Amino acid sequence: MPQDPRFPRRPDHPDFWRLSKLAIAQDARVENAQDGVAMLRQMLAEIGDPASIDYTAENRVGLGLQKMGVAVSDRMEIIMRAVWTDAFRLGFAYAEQLAKERNDAGQE
């Protein structure tokens, strides 16, 4: 795909396009759901125990902030936990998609 001048830093690599497609699909599931929060919980439950994922997100964010010596508001910490969880879901979907593509191509 040719470089888009509107996004000069955007990679033109299959990994970027794979991630982009997965992120768009993930967003669409939430946006098209009657209850977006319930859909987010369901999406977490599809890959693991939501309480365990939430707890891990809380601890990863807390540890990162502690190591950087940064104090943030409770609201900012909640936002950071949501970003961590979103990235976790996207990473899981990416790994599944890549494994499927490799399997379909006869690679392991």
End-to-end Cα, the chain, rounded Å: 26
State residue 2's pLDDT score. Answer: 65
Do the beta carbons of residue 36 and residue 42 sit within 8 Å? no
The pTM assigned to this predicted structure is 0.83
State residue 3's pLDDT score. Answer: 78
State residue 60's pLDDT score. Answer: 94
- Interatomic CA distance for residues 72 and 69, integer angstroms: 10
Question: Tokens 């890549």 map to which residue?
Answer: 98
Question: Tokens 């990994």 map to which residue?
Answer: 15
Per-10-residue mean pLDDT of the chain, 108 residues long, equals 84 94 96 93 95 95 91 91 95 96 86
- 4's torsion region: left (phi>0), alpha (psi -120 to 50) or beta? beta
